[in-house]
Amino acid sequence: MPSIKVGTESSADIEIHYEDHGAGKPVVLIHGYPLDGNSWERQERVLLAAGYRVISYDRRGFGRSSQPTTGYDYDTFAADLNALLEHLDVKDIGLVGFSMGTGEVTRYLGTYGSGRVRKAALLGAIPPFLLLTDDNPEGVPGDVFEGIKEAIVADRYAYFDDFFSNFYNTDKLAPEKIGDAALRASFQTAAASSPFATYACVDTWLTDFRGDLPKIDVPVLVVHGTEDRILPFDNTAKRLPDLVADLQLVPVEGGPHNIAWTHPDEVNAALLEFLAD
């Protein structure tokens, strides 16, 4: 099982698990909360068929990566990504993030620059800044996130049930776009994640990316569901064209948060067209 060491906690190494398949120009896929790298299956298959080398990994605390109780902030997440890219020594990358993964893409480019990256794609974007403040009136009130943390502490598994119903908009899209088996698979992946990470990651959603976005000097694709209940379109994706120099916004009409699963044809077409030279 391929992995790299990115740190230590007490006596244990902190390792990031990754998958590296195919040949050609590399595309790096960064998953969303609370899933893992396998959640990209409907994109990986298409990208491999199109001749790309596809690299995915599990964020610390999730999937087959280590589950420490430290490092749950975007500076560390971006450092983990940088360590992986340096380990693999990949260049000319298409860097693709979903949900929380869009934060890694944004913070990585803002911190480490675009020397290894030719294009970046954000699906279900969390930037620019989710928290309501005096200088961010488009944000979401902080008590919403405190309520989420309270729900996780009270019953993490009950929280996941509620979360995924809005992650996939099951009241409107099940069973045609999201079946019971796929929903169970998402739940099982979330349940296997670190309880500490499940809670700690909520605070990371409130990261202010407004300082990173103007530093992005590669073409950016944003694909976002218009009916996203987790990261509402108007609070996130709609704001990004004014903050990034070269950005294409593709709304997915009626799409929920995880459009990569429910609307793969639209997502994959946009992604392949964008990544092509």
Answer yes or no: 193 catalytic: no
Of 56, 99, 186, 194, which one is the catalytic site residue? 99
CB atoms within 10 A of CB 195: 14
What number of helices (H) and strands (E) belong to the chain?
10, 8
Please tell me the distance from the alpha carbon of residue 11 to that of residue 4, in angstroms, as a whole number.
16
Are the C-beta atoms of 56 and 31 separated by less than 8 Å?
Answer: yes
Q: Which two tokens stand for residue 265?
A: 């044809």
239, 128 contact by CB (below 8 A): yes
| CA-closest candidate to residue 275, choices 34, 43, 19 | 43
Q: Is the peptide bond before 128 cis (omega within 30 degrees of 0)?
A: yes
Cβ-proximal residues to 64 (8 Å cutoff; 6+ apart), any chain = 1, 3, 17, 36, 58
23 neighbors 43 (Cβ within 8 angstroms): no
In the residue annotation, 228 being an active-site residue is answered as yes
User: How remote is the C-alpha of 158 from its chain's centroid?
Assistant: 22
Active-site residue 87, yes or no? no
The structure tokens 């996203």 sit at 228
Q: Are 228 and 257 in contact (CB under 8 A)?
A: yes
Q: From the candidates 17, 31, 224, 257, give the one annotated as an active-site residue.
A: 257
The catalytic position among 36, 194, 228, 263 is 228
Catalytic residues: 99, 228, 257
